[in-house]
Amino acid sequence: MWLRTAFALLLVALLGAPPVARAEAPPLAREGLIFESSFEQGDLRGFYWHNNKPEVVGAPHPVRAGERSMRAYLHRFESENPYRTEVIVGSSQDAPEGTERPLIMEVGAEYWIGFSIYIPPDFVPDTFRLSDVVFQMQATPDPGEDYRSPVFALEIDEAEWRIIVRYDVRRESPPGNEFTDNQTIARPALGAAVGAWTDWVIHVRWAYDDSGYLQVWRNGEQVLERQGPNCSNDERGPHVAIGLYKWPWRPNAPAQWEHRTDNRLFYYDEFRIGGAGASYAAVAPGDGAPSGAAQAVAPPPEPTQPPAPTLEPTPVPTPTPTPTPPPDDILSRLLRWFQALREALTG
């Protein structure tokens, strides 16, 4: 009897099963890439978002390449969430938008990351050190550990870009936001980046020991070269968030902080991430220089003559941790849904 059943099952498996319908993923145009989006498909596929959802837009909005870009807008008093409009890079670039599964990098492995960011011409620099985090890579905590400030952050602080690196050599990080080290390691001037696209390329080997390294280029010009630890001592490596985290607008911020603006708008385009088999050219935005005023374009990079990093302690206040909280998101969505339902019912 069991033999007949097994035979029947085998027949079904061989004949009845549908042909292997593996969706052909669009080929990655450049070598060594893991994830690529220029937002040309019109939605946020491959990404999910934290708090406010960014929009995919086209002309007349600025676009770095192709016909679309991602618009991250935030209003301190009018947006549903007052401090964050950003996406997390997901584990598959073809996943439907909102699939909450981050692309987690590996500690000890090498990555190339490229993207472009547009700062509108009416950008209002905020008060010194009430920075905008415009791109971040955040550690993936071990079980029992807290989410904390990102291990890599690109921020805009008054009239400067600011690149922050934090690392923690302790396997078990204590609660709170203390790191082994937490430094602003480069402060290139914002300069002509206002009203223009700025291309960024990051080359990193994640490590919490001396085998780590980090290189950063802005519009083809190397602005950072750093050897040494650059992440947390975790089982899994960091993940990537693109968009705006305006931490000084969190509701628990000190009331006496003087804010010079209530809204922020940035555009993003040409995001790519590749592994050790990628290269500068594989992740660099566009087909060449961005158009606009900010383009001091150097030929990309034989990374030989790095500028000496200017080390300085990262100022307080340190941004509060950037949680990656699917449970919170679900809860807050449920709450919003419930509130909407209640409003509908109560007229």
Task: Name the residues that contact Ca ion, by CB under 5 A.
Answer: 38-39, 65-66, 68, 142, 233-234, 269
317 prior amide bond cis, ω within 30:
yes
Q: Are 252 and 319 in contact (CB under 8 A)?
A: no
Question: What's the closest the beta carbon of residue 98 comes to Ca ion, in angstroms?
Answer: 20
Question: What's the closest the beta carbon of residue 63 comes to Ca ion, in angstroms?
Answer: 5
Name the residue nearer to Ca ion (CB basis): 155 or 270.
270
Name the residue nearer to Ca ion (CB basis): 132 or 269.
269
Q: Are 320 and 311 in contact (CB under 8 A)?
A: no
Question: What's the closest the beta carbon of residue 331 comes to Ca ion, in angstroms?
Answer: 25
Name the residue nearer to Ca ion (CB basis): 188 or 212.
212
Name the residue nearer to Ca ion (CB basis): 171 or 260.
171
Question: What's the closest the beta carbon of residue 90 comes to Ca ion, in angstroms?
Answer: 18
Name the residue nearer to Ca ion (CB basis): 39 or 167.
39
Which are the contacts of 31, defined by CB distance < 8 A and separation ≥ 6?
A: 274, 277, 278, 279, 282
Q: Cα dihedral sign for 343, 344, 345, 347?
A: positive
β-strand partners of 70: 56, 268
Question: What's the closest the beta carbon of residue 145 comes to Ca ion, in angstroms?
Answer: 5
Name the residue nearer to Ca ion (CB basis): 143 or 347.
143
β-strand partners of 161: 156
Question: What's the closest the beta carbon of residue 230 comes to Ca ion, in angstroms?
Answer: 14
Name the residue nearer to Ca ion (CB basis): 38 or 222.
38
Distance CA 229, CA 226 (A): 9
Question: What's the closest the beta carbon of residue 38 comes to Ca ion, in angstroms?
Answer: 3
